[in-house]
Amino acid sequence: METRYKFKCPECCSDDVAADGPARWNVKEQEWELVDLFDSPLICGDCGYESHEFDHVPVTHGFRVTQEIFTPENAADGEAGSHKTLGRNLSLRDALELVNETRTARVDGVQGVELSASDIAAAGWITVYNGMEYESGAHESRALHLPDWMTAASKRRVAQLMNAT
Ligand SMILES: [Zn+2]
């Protein structure tokens, strides 16, 4: 499949991005067409952020799974945990398997599964928060990142498969 790109708001990650410019009426097509963008900034349709510096990124097709480890040392130092990508461009089946695994079997059960936004259409990922690891005292969470093409209905199905709230 040919790679498509999108603009992404650096503030809120939305891809609802608009630009301002003059339009000309096309008599043959019976619609307005954009003449020029001059040097106008891009505007985020979700948060209103304006900038020339929007990220131009490829549209993702597959699922991605990331991991965050939060240790007692992180907590003591007021730091964020360490973050890494465990897999990208995964099938749903592989992604579900990976997101539900833990790096050690010696860990308390799952504490919660949460959507990144309460509105399912806006949700970009689903996070599994695991309980404390018995040996290290660390907490591991794994997130399933939903590809851009997913509709609210298909996101809802994945959320149900993961028992997300
Ligand atoms: Zn925004």
Average pLDDT over residues 19-39: 88
pLDDT band at 1 (very low <50, low <70, confident <90, very high): low
Ligand 1 centroid distance, CA of 46 (Å): 5
Ligand 1 centroid distance, CA of 73 (Å): 33
Residue type for position 61: H
Contact indicator for 109, 137 with CB cutoff of 8 Å: no
Ligand 1 centroid distance, CA of 47 (Å): 4
Contact indicator for 153, 163 with CB cutoff of 8 Å: no
pLDDT band at 58 (very low <50, low <70, confident <90, very high): confident
Query: Among 29-33, 90-94, 114-118, 145-149, which is the least confidently predicted range?
Result: 145-149
Would you state the pLDDT for residue 143? 97
Beta pairing class for 50-51 and 42-44: antiparallel
Query: Among 25-29, 33-37, 50-54, which is the least confidently predicted range?
Result: 33-37
Ligand 1 centroid distance, CA of 13 (Å): 6
Ligand 1 centroid distance, CA of 76 (Å): 33
Ligand 1 centroid distance, CA of 18 (Å): 11
Give the chain's length.
Answer: 165
Host H or E run for residue 93? helix 92-99
pLDDT band at 35 (very low <50, low <70, confident <90, very high): confident
pLDDT of 60 > 80? The answer is no
pLDDT in tens, 120-165: 888 999 999 999 999 999 999 999 999 878 889 999 999 999 999 7
Ligand 1 centroid distance, CA of 15 (Å): 8
89 Rama sector, left if φ>0, alpha if ψ -120 to 50, beta otherwise = left
Ligand 1 centroid distance, CA of 19 (Å): 13
Ligand 1 centroid distance, CA of 55 (Å): 11
Ligand 1 centroid distance, CA of 96 (Å): 29
Ligand 1 centroid distance, CA of 34 (Å): 23
pLDDT of 39 > 90? The answer is no
* Between 38 and 118, residue with greater pLDDT: 118
pLDDT in tens, 63-99: 999 999 999 999 999 998 999 999 988 889 999 999 9
Report the alpha-carbon distance of residue 114 to residue 143 in Å, rounded: 9
Beta pairing class for 17-19 and 42-44: antiparallel
Beta pairing class for 110-115 and 5-8: unpaired
Ligand 1 centroid distance, CA of 7 (Å): 11
pLDDT in tens, 2-20: 677 889 888 887 888 998 8
Report the alpha-carbon distance of residue 4 to residue 53 in Å, rounded: 19
